[in-house]
């Protein structure tokens, strides 16, 4: 099942929990960019990491909708699916993993014909997802930071009903995400080139990830 199809399954599960207008805003266009992102994710990263991207998209989109933030779902979707691809050894170009993921994302979007300014919005969201953008007007960047913070650290998790969370985890399971993600971070640190990630790892990051309310 493609990542886009998993998102459609999640939307079906959320039908009884979320207003239909809000639910419609989660829909990703059936586009060449979305298909290309799905294909690269399927080839270049694990299901566990792709599922994290899908949950990050859905968590971030729902929080953005509640805050009345308009966003481009296609830009946001592509960035969400690929935001951690720089942690994969095959896409590690020797720098910060966010910068490597930014480059991969913009190259993919150039191949499917996106204008550089629009591709930059997706790339910037990947680049800024850890700490968020300086300007909240960069909505896709902001929402990706929102979504990843929920899925990795449990931030604002209490704003989602138990039924919504059950739908998320049923349609897009975590598949041992906590330990797998920590392994990816450790692997990138061992390969070198990302002092920012090293600083994060030394600040109690492992304990924070393991202590989130998610079981895995």
- The pLDDT tens digits of the residues spanning 141-151 come to 999 999 999 99
Query: Which residues, 6+ apart, have CB-to-CB distance to 183 below 8 Å?
Result: none
Q: Which residues of 71-91 are buried (b: 16+ CB within 10 A; e: fewer)?
A: bebbbbbbbbbbbbbbbbeeb
**How many percent of the chain have pLDDT more than 90?**
80
User: What does the buried/exposed string (b/e) look like for 175-192 if buried means 16 or more CB atoms within 10 Å of the residue's CB?
Assistant: eebbebbeebbeebbeee
In this predicted model, what pLDDT tens digit does every residue of 104-159 receive, in sequence order? 999 999 999 999 999 999 999 999 999 999 989 999 999 999 999 999 999 999 99
Please answer whether residues 189 and 198 qualify as being in contact, where contact means their C-beta atoms are separated by less than 8 angstroms: yes
Q: What is the pLDDT of residues 62-103, one digit of tens each?
A: 999 989 999 999 999 999 999 999 999 999 999 999 999 999
Residue 15 vs residue 61, higher pLDDT: 61
């Amino acid at each position: 099942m493609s990542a886009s199809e998993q998102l459609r399954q999640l939307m079906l599960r959320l039908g009884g929990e979320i207003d239909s207008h809000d639910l419609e805003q989660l829909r990703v266009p059936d586009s060449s960019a979305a298909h290309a992102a799905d294909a690269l994710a399927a080839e270049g990263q694990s299901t566990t990491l792709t599922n994290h991207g899908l949950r990050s998209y859905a968590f971030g989109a729902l929080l953005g909708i509640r805050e009345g933030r308009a966003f481009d779902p296609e830009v946001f979707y592509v960035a969400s699916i690929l935001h951690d691809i720089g942690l994969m050894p095959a896409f590690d170009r020797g720098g910060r993993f966010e910068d490597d993921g930014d480059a991969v994302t913009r190259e993919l979007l150039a191949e499917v014909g996106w204008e550089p300014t629009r591709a930059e919005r997706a790339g910037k969201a990947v680049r800024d997802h850890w700490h968020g953008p300086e300007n909240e007007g960069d909505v896709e960047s902001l929402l990706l930071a929102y979504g990843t913070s929920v899925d990795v650290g449990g931030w604002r998790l209490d704003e989602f009903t138990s039924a919504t969370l059950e739908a998320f985890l049923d349609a897009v399971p975590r598949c041992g995400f906590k330990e797998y993600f920590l392994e990816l971070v450790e692997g990138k640190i061992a390969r070198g080139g990302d002092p920012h990630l090293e600083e994060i790892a030394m600040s109690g990051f492992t304990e924070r990830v393991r202590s989130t309310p998610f079981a895995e």
